[in-house]
Structure 1
Amino acid sequence: MKSLCTAVLVLVSTTFFAQETEKNKENTSVNDTIKNKNINELEGVTIYGNKRQYIKVESDKTTISIKENPMLSTGNALEAVKKLPGVITSPNGGLTLNGKGVAIYIDNAPSTLTGQDLQNYLSSLPANAIEKVELIYNPGAAFDANASGSIINIITSSKRLKGINASFNLNYNFNKYQKPSPQILLNGKEKDLSWQTMLGYNYIDSENRTISDQTFTAFSPDIVMRQENFSVTTQRNLYWRTGTNYKLSKKSNILLNYNMNLGNDRNVFDATTQSDDIDYLNNGVTKTKNQNHELSIQYKTKLDTIGRTLDVTGFGNLFHRNPISTSDATDLISNESFFNDGNSDFDLKNYYLKYDFTIPFEKYKFSITTGGKYNILKVDNIGDYFINSPTVNRIVFDYSENNLAFYAEARKKIKKFNFTLGLRFEDFNVERISSTVDGKIKFRNTNLFPNISAIYEVNDNINVTANYSKKINQPNYFTLDPNNSSSFDQYNTSQGNIFLDPTFFDNYEVKITALQFIQLGANFTRTKDNNLFIFSADADATEPISNQTFQQFDRFDTFSAYFSFPIPLDYFFKGKEEFQKRMNYIDKMNYIFVNINYVKNDIRGFDFPYSNEAIWSYSTQAQFILPWDIKNTISYFILDRGNWEIYKITKPIQQFDISFNKEFMNNKLKVGLHCFDVFNSNEINALVGGNNLNTNFYQKQDSRVFRISLTYNFGNLKLQKENTDIEVEKVKSGGGLVK
């Protein structure tokens, strides 16, 4: 591997970008020519000096194109994000980036939803609605401090061409079940108004099997119990996304977006619990209805000719969820029937107002960005549970959070160095109320969060970056809410921990970025009071009951290293001349992109029943251009054995995907054939050590899916995009270059 990587670095350095200087000169002259023409008069799809790139590596972030990437653009946003380089899904379903926790942003705004609600939302967002995804490794002061370590920013804004344009998309999924997901997208531009509307419906069935072999160590002798659960989940959701962009003047825009999602899900489960003296059966159904509404308005203006800009954004989010669970549980030993029924009424309201103001001083190669934000979050959840009795057990949970923030960030270029220094003030006022505890639980956190980064430009193609940032993670409603939802029966409970403290992070990173495709880096995160999902048992319980909850760990350190690089197959198989012809058209190239991760966790103050070993992950994405212009894309991921957070992975987690795509009718019709998890090998085998309980956990989802995708574009496709956005060098992630 080392010799291959060295060869790739030398090859790409000497050939892949050897022509960049000359090309940039040519592009400059071409762009000067374009400026003298009316862009609305250009016909066809001729591109002047523009590269189509599926992936672009910068010192502060990596940007991946989604909409034009056939492997990522079918299915939903969650599927697409999981395939991005450096993104690893933990055994509990959470996402990490190069070993660090992430916050999900959508169109530069942090998502209000968390836990399973966030995963369901991403599953309902179609991938072909996404233009690109930004992987931001060390977000600066302009981003919320409540971002743990990294940010995945999903950009859904789309091109708007003059006139009315449309596309119809259909994904048809085959596994044991066969369900369609149709969608229509309309967009256009008339004078100063551009707009887009997307309407679609998802219908997906899937199966999931979990097996837990659990040892309860508080009993004498130990009690060993096996629990199995098989469920069939039906997800149905209707979504409508619309946005407008009105050009008030040459310097000002106003953007209005509204997103709606209506869900109607069903989960049919069949669970068994067996031990020496236990033979227990629990089956039933959970029906969940939810609705999500998001409204945002943004005003963007360029104040003068020297580049001062002002952005003001208002945002509101209303989310409602109502799961109703009915079950029929039977103890076969005593031949007594039980039931475990429950329902909850969950409401979330989130509002914020923010502004960003940028002042550049080009003469001094210096810029200042400042801004502020006020956020209000309110969560209410009332759960009613009937456990082996017609008497209701009601749990009431209320959460409120007010957050006031201000920041300032300065950038300065000194010769080959670019420095960024930022400071963010955050004032959190949090109140938690639950019927399971007496009184209110209050937190008032007022802190300063600094960030600093330095970039050294070795040459035009290589940068060395060093970063430090301090962050906080307020426990979200999913980790706090004591309501059990539907995950409970005679021997299982599931609840949040209302006593969790905020988590503080110190993030350090050093990285080498080369040639827009290669990065080699390492980061270290020191975490205080980290909150992690765990299985545990009560030491004083009279019978074995497994509790799924969240526990706080006083000290949690993570070291990770990563290496990403391309293998330009065209250079080897087609020669230097043909390779250089395809430089600007990566969608016509044959390549392999490789990402390698190493992660080592160190948890202090907690004894696990197994040794602590580092874990490796490998992922590759390849593209091959076959005869008749058929595009073949292949993706492979493997998370090897080792320790991931508090889990001991005992068998590699892996998945192999393959896709074939062909365009017809002058690119108006696109047809794709896809198979995900070809060998049906994506499963989780892990050990989990908790208080008084050791768990051997197995989970297998219905991950092998065949899909047919059809996209038909119609309307005026000849006119080049007229951009109504105001292009400003405003907020980068904390390490951006000052030009």
Structure 2
Amino acid sequence: MKNIILLLSLFFTGLINAQNIKIEGVVTFEGEPIPETFITIKTSQVYNATTNEEGYFSVEIPENVTHYTITWEHSQFKAQTKSLKYIADQKLDLQFTEQQDEVLDAIVIDQTNKNIRRFADKTVVDVENLTVLNSGSVFDAVNKLPGVLVTANGQIAHNGKLATIFLDGEPTGMNGDQLTNFLKNLPANTVKSIEIIDRPGAKYSATFNGTIINVITKSAKIEGVSGSFMQQNTINSRIKNTTSAQIMFKKNKFSWNMNTGYTHHEGNTNSLNEFSYMSNGTQIKARENYWNNQWYQNYYLRNNWQYKVSDLANLTLKYNFNHTYSKPQTLGNMFNAFGDTETAYKQRTLGKSNNNMHELQFVYSQKLDTVGTNFTLTSNTEFQNNTNSNQLFVEDQMASTILADNNFVYSQTKADFETPFKTINGNLSLGAHYTHSVSTNNGSYIWDQARNYIPYDFKYTNKAAYASVSSNISSLMISAGLRLENLTYQSETAVDSLNLKQDYTNLFPTVTLKYPVMSGVYLSAGYSKRMNLPGAQSFNPNVTSQNSLLVSNAGNPNLKPEISHNMNATLTVFDYIYFSYNLSKMPNQNVVFYEITPNGTLESKSHNIENGISQSFNMGVPIPYAMFTKGIKNMINDRNGLNIDELSFTYLNAGYFKTRYDDVIPNRFQKGAFYIFTYSQFYLGNNSRIFVTYYNMFKGVMNLYELNKPAQNLSITFNKKFWDNKLNVNVGVDNVLNTDGFDVNVFGNGLQMRTETLNERRMFKVGLTFNFGSFKDQNQQMFPQGTPPFKTN
């Protein structure tokens, strides 16, 4: 740790004491800053730089330079060159005067209106203007992002590691099925863009491990009322429907954005479990064949009120409400063998869950000057109440009932300050965060086993301060930060041996580098230290559900925070093509697997595993082709005016990932796995398209699930727009091949276990979206808005 602090100190000192003789300025087109412009300065040597998001650049030069030649080039504009005399402290105002008629032949995807923009620490995907992403749900859109895949147990991962979902810059406060169902209910046409933050900086809490996927919803930018209504129905043996609406209003200094929706879902799946193990010298075998009925209703309301106090200050108030009611049930034919004693019986489980979440957020943002100094104060409070009932019947006789009432209160206050910092040719950010949450759990058991429910409280406090800088040193873009984080958590029960209190304080550095290899081609690399603490329910010492006479779920009060050291390198070509390598060393990680209890049953819970190493290689390549549209030659000739929404293409994501642990995990559960994911658009003309989505996870291991055969899914959708794009119609088929599901061996300590699940059969869907008013800012420019950090001469 001392070495890391020393290196960072030397780094910051080097920045502050950097050469004072420099050439700096901004690059613009029609008054708008142009990021990622490639700067070349020629004297007796050649120097390079790249503009940041505000169009600013700075290049250090030798003291003896008197004259130089400067060239600025960007794939969308004709390059400009000037010969200049060096003037100390001069701020150059470089302007593009003409857009490019000829773009490099490799750029077949539209470059005049980028749908993907890559920065040093994140990738921004435009959802609003890309029909293939905005025609379904937010879950569908997220699943099509570069490097994203859904794991065998339904969680969202990016580049082989689990991801955290944010909504408008803040965590959703949901996880598991609740989060997945919410994303499936939220229509993608309400989303402006999605940020893939695969290198979270010091501004983000170190407790968010892995990638952050930030979904940014649309907001009112023009006077008047605008919005949309969506109705979608899916049919197989059951009918499922989703209805949602968005309304945006703006009048003078006040704007209001509301999203609301309702979903009813009922679907059937089939599962088969086979396992065997030894308990107290007795061989136990079981075969459990389930029919599962998933039934839930969900409705949500999200409100965002914003008042522009002045040209420099904004007040924002948000209120969000989410309600989910579910009543899943299973019917099973069970077979158990205890030594020589064999038993066959029928069982039934009934579940009920009622969850209500209220969230209130206040944001005050203040621009302190006109050159980019900003202050933001955010206060967020969330209340959740969840009541659960889990009943197990064997031959119509009640075997157990587990009742629980969970209350959760979460509060966070944070202050963030950002300002241009001339000494380092970039920006300085400072901030402080305070987070506190309390989870209270009460319940009861009706159980044929002698066991009492233990009332359980979990308290969590996080205090943090951070500092980060971003700078351009010649052509190298650097962002570095350091975060001090104190984490205190404790569980309180009536049983002293289950009480736990931990206090953890540490430093978490982050460094990101981005270097332009040539115009449009970038190499980036980064390092971050992260920490992750499981949710409160993972510490709950009680059995929270019983799935059969032999299988149940419980928490583990002895868990520790996860620590990971993450390194990555990415090569991007014109933003659309990428190749990345990721390596994580994990001194401590919590993973879920089954263990044999003293009474001979199985419990699924989280366990601490040490010395983990995770690595992955991922790539994304767009493949345009001439099917139902103009030929490749014509596409190249007309590429300056290409509209990606009217192009036939396939975007291929592929990857390999592998995680190794210490010797507690057998080698068979530490193998790697390959996957491919493609989404294709076939443009038929007349504003009509066909979307084809295909996913295949080959044999291998993912999160301790060993696939016995590849998992794959194919979906096809026909899309047609009417009335000047105001009416959007989707008709399609999900799970075309009836192969959605998985056949896996599940790791368990001292047991053999196989699970086979076949998800819902082929589903037919039809969806209508009607837009009214205007979703777009009529003053919106082609490039991101921004203020140059320094005034130009």
User: What is the TM-score with the length of structure 2 in the denominator?
Assistant: 0.81
Indicate the residue corresponding to 2:77 in structure 1: 21
Shift of 1:515: 0.4
Distance 2:777 2:565 in 1: 49
How far apart, CA to CA, are the structure 2 residues paired with 1:436 and 1:208? 40
Aligned pair 1:186/2:251, yes or no?
no
Contact (CA 8 Å) 1:105, 1:111: kept in 2 or not? yes
**Per-residue deviation, 1:497:** 1.1
Deviation at 1:235, TM superposition (A): 1.5
Could you tell me which residue of structure 1 aligns to residue 476 of structure 2? 417
Provide the rounded CA distance (Å) in 2 between the counterparts of 1:313 and 1:50.
Answer: 36
Q: Kindly indicate whether the alpha-carbon contact (under 8 Å) linking 1:625 and 1:632 is maintained by their aligned counterparts in 2.
A: yes
The structure-2 alpha-carbon separation of the partners of 1:290 and 1:352, relative to structure 1 and needing over 3 Å to count, comes to same
Identity %: 25
The partner residue of 1:77 within 122, 138, 143 is: 138
Deviates more, 1:589-598 or 1:481-490: 481-490
Higher mean alpha-carbon deviation, 458-467 vs 361-370, is at 361-370
Q: Indicate how the Cα distance of structure 1 residues 18 and 589 shifts in structure 2: closer, same or farther if over 3 A, else same.
A: farther
Worse-superposed segment, 122-131 or 453-462: 122-131
Is 2:591 the partner of 1:535?
no
CA distance in 2 between partners of 1:643 and 1:698 (Å):
15
Secondary structure of the 2:454 match is strand
What is the SS of the residue equivalent to 2:668?
A: coil
Range with bigger deviation, 633-642 or 576-585: 576-585
Query: Is 1:448 the equivalent of 2:504?
Result: no
Residue 262 to residue 430, structure 1, CA distance change in 2 (3 Å): same
Once the 2 structures are TM-superposed, how far is the Cα of residue 449 of structure 1 from its aligned partner? 0.2
**Which residue of 2 is the match for residue 361 of structure 1?**
421
- Alpha-carbon shift at residue 241 of structure 1 (Å): 1.3
Q: 1:587 matched to which residue of 2?
A: 645
- In structure 1, the residue matched to 2:39 is none
Residue 478 of structure 1: SS of its match in structure 2? helix
Q: SS of the counterpart of 2:204?
A: coil
- For residues 326 and 390 of structure 2, the distance between their equivalents in structure 1, rounded to whole angstroms, comes to 12
Residue of structure 2 equivalent to 1:575: 632
Tell whether 2:620 aligns with 1:564. Answer: yes
**1:478 Cα shift?**
3.4
Equivalent residue, structure 2, for 1:232: 293
Among candidates 722, 744, 755, match of residue 686 of structure 1: 744
> Is the 2:515–2:523 Cα contact (8 Å) retained in structure 1?
yes
CA RMSD after TM alignment: 2.9
Q: What 5-or-longer segments of structure 2 have no aligned partner? A: 1-72, 82-93, 100-109, 789-793
Distance in 2 between residues matched to 1:434 and 1:505, nearest whole Å: 30
C-alpha displacement of 1:73: 3.3
Match among 481, 484, 490 for residue 431 of structure 1: 490
Are 1:313 and 2:370 matched, yes or no? no
Structure 1 pair 611–113 and aligned structure 2 pair: CA distance change class (3 A): closer
Instruction: Indicate the SS of the match to 1:307.
Output: coil
- Report if aligned partners of 1:77, 1:125 keep a CA contact under 8 Å in 2: yes
Mapped to 1, the partners of 2:295 and 2:423 lie a distance apart of 60
Name which of 357, 374, 395 aligns with 1:330. 395
Aligned to 1:480: 539
* Cross-structure match for 1:555: 611
Aligned to 2:631, the other structure's residue is in SS state helix
CA, structure 1 residues 360+719, in 2 after alignment: closer, same or farther (shift >3 Å)?
closer
CA contact (8 A) 1:135 1:152 kept: yes
Residues in 2 aligned to 1:403 and 1:719: alpha-carbon distance in whole angstroms:
39
**How far, CA to CA, are the matches of 1:180 and 1:531 in structure 2?**
37
Kept in 1, the 8 Å contact 2:468–2:480? The answer is: yes
Contact 2:392 2:547 (C-alpha < 8 Å) held by counterparts: no
Equivalent position amino acid for 2:286 in 1: M
Q: Tell me if structure 2 keeps the 8 A contact 1:52–1:587.
A: no
Distance 1:383 1:68, change over 3 A: farther
CA distance in 2, matches of 1:684, 1:176: 21
Distance in 2 between residues matched to 1:87 and 1:405, nearest whole Å:
30
Note the alpha carbon deviations across 1:84-142, whole angstroms, 9 max, x for none: 22112222222221012322222111233333443344344333332222111111101
Question: Which residue pairs with 1:264 in the alignment?
Answer: 325
Which residue matches 2:56? Answer: none
Give the SS at the match of 1:118: helix
Distance 1:116 1:434, change over 3 A: farther
CA offset at residue 249 of structure 1? 1.3
Residue by residue over 1:6-40, the C-alpha shift from the partner in whole angstroms, topping out at 9 and shown as x without a partner, is xxxxxxxxxxx995233999995589xxxxxxxxx
Q: With a CA cutoff of 8 Å and minimum separation of 6, indicate the structure with the bigger relative contact order.
A: 1
Q: Which runs of 5+ in 1 are unaligned?
A: 1-16, 32-48, 332-336, 731-739
Helix, strand or coil: the match of 1:119?
A: helix
Q: Show the counterpart of 1:334.
A: none
Structure 1 contact 149–505 (Cα < 8 Å) conserved: no
Alignment of 1:21-40 (within 5 A): 21-22=77-78, 29=97
Distance 1:722 1:250, change over 3 A: farther
2:525 corresponds in structure 1 to: 466
Q: Which residue does 1:35 correspond to in 2?
A: none
1:207-255: per-residue Cα shift (whole Å, max 9, x none)?
Answer: 2222111011345463221122222111111211111221111122222
1:379 corresponds to 2:444:
no
Could you list the per-position Cα deviations for residues 426-472 of structure 1 after superposition, in whole angstroms to 9, with x for gaps in the alignment?
Answer: 11111112456635200101110001122211222111111110000
CA distance in 2, matches of 1:528, 1:285: 40
Structure 1 counterpart of 2:294, one-letter code: T
Cα distance in 2 for partners of 1:583, 1:222 equals: 70
Are 1:168 and 2:224 counterparts? no
CA contact 1:316–1:351 (8 Å) conserved in 2: yes
Q: Size of the alignment, in residue pairs? A: 687
Query: What does 1:117-136 correspond to in 2, within 5 Å?
Result: 117-136=178-197
* Contact map agreement 1:115 1:478 (CA 8 A) in 2: no
Q: Per-residue deviation at 1:392? A: 8.3
Aligned 8 A contact 2:469 2:479 in 1? yes
For residue 718 of structure 1, report the CA deviation from its aligned partner.
8.9
CA contact 2:111–2:640 (8 Å) conserved in 1 = no
SS in 1 for 2:395: strand
- Closer, same or farther: CA 401–184 of 1 in aligned 2, 3 Å: same
Distance 1:705 1:55 in 2: 31
Q: Tell me: CA distance 1:483–1:587, structure 2 relative to 1, closer, same or farther (3 Å).
A: farther
Partner of 2:21: none
Distance 1:489 1:599 in 2: 34
Q: Is the 8 A contact 1:309 1:728 kept in 2?
A: no
In structure 1, which of residues 111, 115, 124 is the aligned counterpart of residue 176 of structure 2?
115
CA 173–58 in structure 1, closer or farther in 2 if over 3 Å, else same: same
CA shift, 1:361, in A, is 3.0
State the alpha-carbon separation in 2 of the partners of residues 465 and 669 from structure 1. 41
Alpha-carbon distance between aligned partners in 2 of 1:162 and 1:485, rounded to the nearest angstrom: 51
Q: Which residue does 1:602 correspond to in 2?
A: 660
Q: State the match for 2:124 in structure 1.
A: 63
Deviates more, 1:252-261 or 1:562-571: 562-571
The structure-2 alpha-carbon separation of the partners of 1:516 and 1:607, relative to structure 1 and needing over 3 Å to count, comes to closer
Alignment match of 2:263 (pick from 202, 206, 229):
202
For residues 294 and 29 of structure 1, the distance between their equivalents in structure 2, rounded to whole angstroms, comes to: 48
Closer, same or farther in 2 for the Cα pair 1:166/1:137, shift >3 Å?
closer
Aligned equivalents of 1:719, 1:91: Cα separation in 2: 41
Q: Is the 8 A contact 1:620 1:637 kept in 2?
A: yes
Which residue is 1:101 aligned to? 162
Could you tell me how far 1:668 is from its partner in structure 2? Answer: 1.5
Q: CA separation of 1:92/1:103 partners in 2, compared to 1, >3 Å: closer, same or farther?
A: same
Distance 1:628 1:570 in 2: 16
Mapped to 1, the partners of 2:243 and 2:159 lie a distance apart of: 34
Aligned-partner SS, 2:222: coil
Cα deviation, residue 65, structure 1: 3.1
Whether the 8 Å contact between 2:164 and 2:171 is mirrored in structure 1 is yes
Q: Aligned to 2:453, what secondary structure does the other structure show?
A: strand
Contact 1:556–1:602, Cα closer than 8 Å, also in 2: yes
Range with bigger deviation, 399-408 or 190-199 = 190-199
Q: Distance in 2 between matches of 1:583 and 1:256?
A: 41
